[in-house]
Structure 1
Amino acid sequence: MNTSSKKSAQSQQTSGLTEEEILQLFIEHSEDILVLTNSEMILEYVSQSLARMLDIRIEDSLGKKINIVLENFPSLPLMKQNQKMVIPLINSVNKRKYLIEFQFKLVLASHGNLQAIFAIGKDVTDRELSLKKFKDTAFKEKELNQLKSRFVSMASHEFRTPLSTILSSSFLIEMLLQKDLGEGTKDKILNHIKKIIAQANRLTDITSDVLLLERSVQADSKVHRKKIYILHFAKELVEAINHENFELRTVKFFGPDSDKAIHTDPSLLTHILRNLILNALKYSEGAIDPEVHLVYRGAYFEISVKDYGMGIPKEDREHIFGSFYRAKNVGNIKGTGLGLNIVKELTKKLNGEIWFTSKLGMGSEFFVSFPVK
């Protein structure tokens, strides 16, 4: 008897277990997950570790397709020799989700055809969740840095023009006041005062948008809901905007015959609708008057704002709700690129949805839908 045979015999005498029994013991108590299927992906072996994790009976699993027992398991063409893949598995009893990293071993017959698939898995749930958290944090930091960069770029451009106008108009007023007020001088002074007021208001609007955007993305900002009647609310808002616009252009309102009580935050809803309506007026100058439509859809109500203006180019549509983003065809129309981003964030806070349709040169229609309660 050689040395290795002696050692094997000694170990068997000490434990009283055969090599096959020892191997079975290791397999049953190992934390590794072991799965064996035939070439048709029929389960032939499932380790106790997987059965314990998913609360399944091994005898009920054998003889079934693997993706019936483990529904997220990939199909055969996706597997390659020694390939690693993280697969989500869910315990059907307590609904707990596990992320298992499997490594596949393809067992080939002597003629080269696939005979079986052996998969060795380990629980990497904590690792993958930590990695996702790190990626999410890194993405948010990157997005925040990009947001800050775009804000600085926008601010340096948008603030410079109104401030230059304010300063130059103030200087001219000072010069004019030092002279005798002749014919037409008073009109010139009033004209420059109007410019100062307009540009100061513009700066105020930009600042307000930035502050509102900051508040809207805060997860802990509160929504103050109360009961309002939506038909009356929407009609009154449209009438107020028409009055502010001195009836130079009239936003048309279309709604149902009856009113309906809803629960929402009137302040947030007002900002959403005002922004959409004012955008419709701003980007459809010289076109047919914009329209606002209110429709009840079961447990939801839907408001659409339609204009017949310039429309949104195809290449800009996927970015239109982004921060500081403005479509390429807006020309010299003033704006910060924050309005629709704020509208989207506020719509989410009210558990609503927003979408739009648009045809270049023919106009756009924005839709918002909210639950009644």
Structure 2
Amino acid sequence: MINFSNEEMLRFFLENSDDIMVILNEEMETVFLSPSFEKVFQKPLEETLGRKFNEVLINFPSLPLMKPNQKMVIPVVLKELKKSLMLEFQFKPIQVKDRPGRFIFAIGRDVTERELVLKKFKDIAFKEKELNQMKSRFVSMASHEFKTPIATIVSSVMIMQMLLDKDFSDEIKVKLLGHIDKIINQSNRLTSIMSDVLLLEKSIQQDMKLNLKKISIGKFLESLIHDINEENLNRRTVRFFQPQSDKQILTDESMLVHIIRNLIQNALNYSPESSDPEVHLSIIGNFVEIRIKDYGIGIPREEHENIFGSFYRAKNVGNIKGTGLGLNIVQELTKKLKGEIWFKSKEGMGSEFFVSFPVK
């Protein structure tokens, strides 16, 4: 049987423990460091002893924040080793024999793997919660949005059946054509809703394929806005402002069409009695910025944080038709194109939506 002295036993534990043990004085200076510190940080102990420990570990808390037996996870970046760690430290005030003043004993361990698993779990839980909320909103939206077009289609068909039992006078023909138009319009509305749902599902998939090519952004916007104005039969005119020089960006043209068309259509829909909407193109450094401005109903301040949510519609939209999917899809597609989207809005004073893309 081999007997170890207390000193030998202590040295054995210190040399073989993966935990980092530190003793600090009141000035946060390092009084003691276990050998494990050198193993983890690949730094000689001599370089750290005597230094303030919160200068060695930038995120290490200052002494007043340390509480007895408190645990704290601290992110650490090891630039020399090109890796990041998460270290969990526990603090305990101690008295050192024959040494006046207050000391703190801190013991830390590498919990990087645990924190990554925990983060992954939280992300999954958050996505599951978000998915459940989205399902709930979809059920609510679908029951409301589908009810009107289906009721219109059914009633129009019933009226057409009654009219068919009568002679086909010009008056009846006009009524029949009117109900046929209603059926077509409401069927198109249902198709549009389902298209939005399918596009949303596609846009949130990580492996969504992009058909990237270079386009001149000024010419692209000019052509798209011309088409929208033609479709609108000149009832409202979207005004376009662009700089003299044009820029090329690498993008998926069909996605970009959907993004800009949706934002312009919103500007038209939510400013029915106001001045015509505007589209402004700006070149800012290595980015192109597209600003869509309207002078309509605006978005209430308390609803700004929710406006990009799935199936979410602001309380002041009234009878203006919509599914609450448009901006959510626009946001997802913008992310796919490596762009950013944000907005400014005040209720009753209109909205400005901005999308920005890198110049390639």
TM-score (norm 2): 0.96
The structural deviation recorded for 1:277 is: 0.3
CA contact (8 A) 2:37 2:45 kept: no
Kept after mapping to 1: 8 A contact 2:22/2:107 = yes
Q: Which residue of 2 aligns with 1:202?
A: 189
Select which of 141, 145, 151 maps to 1:154: 141
Which residue pairs with 1:129 in the alignment?
116
- Aligned match of 2:73 in 79, 86, 96? 86
Task: Name 2:314's counterpart in structure 1.
Answer: 327
The letter for the 2-side match of 1:78 is L
Cα displacement string for residues 198-247 of structure 1 (whole angstroms, at most 9, x for unaligned residues): 11111111011111111110000011110111111100000000000000
Residue of structure 2 equivalent to 1:343: 330
1:66 equivalent to 2:82? Answer no
Contact preservation (8 Å) 1:41, 1:76 = yes
> What is residue 4 of structure 1 aligned with on the other side?
none
2:37 aligned with 1:50: yes
Larger radius of gyration: 1
1:109 and 1:23, CA in 2 relative to 1: closer, same or farther beyond 3 A?
A: closer
Number of residue equivalences: 358
Find 2:287's aligned residue among 276, 300, 318.
300
1:357, distance to aligned residue in structure 2 (A): 0.8
Between the aligned partners of 1:33 and 1:307, the Cα distance in structure 2 is 59
The answer on whether the counterparts of 2:91 and 2:106 sit within 8 Å (CA) in structure 1 is yes
Match for residue 175 of structure 2?
Answer: 188
1:18 Cα shift? Answer: 4.0
Report the equivalent of 1:144: 131
Cα distance between partner residues in 2 of 1:353 and 1:83: 40
2:264 to 229, 253, 277: 277
Deviation at 1:261, TM superposition (A): 2.1
Deviation (angstroms), 1:98: 2.0
Q: Does 2:17 match 1:27?
A: no
Give the deviation of 1:107 after TM superposition. 1.9
Identity in percent: 61
Match among 289, 294, 299 for residue 312 of structure 1: 299
Matched, 1:227 2:214: yes
Residues 78, 335 of structure 1: CA spacing in aligned structure 2 closer, same or farther, 3 A cutoff? Answer: same
Per-residue CA distance 1:250-303 (angstroms, 9 max, x = gap): 000000112222211111110000000000000000100000011111211111
For the 8 Å contact 1:107–1:114, the answer to whether it is kept is no
What is the distance in 2 between the residues matched to 1:226 and 1:91?
Answer: 39
Aligned match of 2:83: 96
Distance 2:249 2:123 in 1: 36
CA contact (8 A) 2:212 2:251 kept: yes
What is the aligned partner in structure 1 of residue 249 from structure 2?
Answer: 262
1:109 deviation in Å? 7.9
**Which amino acid in 1 is paired with 2:41?**
L
Supply the AA of the counterpart residue of 1:296.
I
For the residues of structure 1 that align with 2:61 and 2:48, how far apart are their CA atoms? 17
State the Cα distance separating 1:21 from its structure 2 match: 3.3
Residue 170 (structure 1) aligns with: 157
- Match of residue 355 from structure 1: 342
2:29 equivalent to 1:39: no
Gaps of at least 5 residues in structure 2 are none
Residues 69 and 90 of structure 2 are in contact (CA less than 8 Å); yes or no, is this contact kept in structure 1? yes
Q: Is the 8 A contact 1:55 1:92 kept in 2?
A: no
Quick one: distance in 2 between partners of 1:351 and 1:170? 47
Q: Between 321-330 and 98-107, report the one with greater CA deviation.
A: 98-107
User: 2:121 and 2:216 mapped to 1: Cα distance?
Assistant: 45
Matched position secondary structure for 1:154: helix
Question: What SS is found at the alignment partner of 1:355?
Answer: strand
Q: Distance in 2 between matches of 1:62 and 1:211?
A: 61
Q: In structure 2, how many angstroms separate the alpha carbons of the residues matched to 1:77 and 1:220?
A: 48
Compute the TM-score of the two structures, normalised by the length of structure 1.
0.93
SS of residue matched to 2:235: coil
Over residues 279-328 of structure 1, what are the superposed CA-to-partner deviations in whole Å (9 max), with x where a residue is unaligned? Answer: 00000001000000111112111110000001110011111011001111
Cα distance in 1 for partners of 2:32, 2:78 equals 19
Shift of the alpha carbon at 1:108?
A: 4.9
Q: CA deviation at 1:114?
A: 5.6
User: 1:123 offset after TM fit, Å?
Assistant: 2.0
Code of the residue aligned with 2:352 in structure 1: it is: E
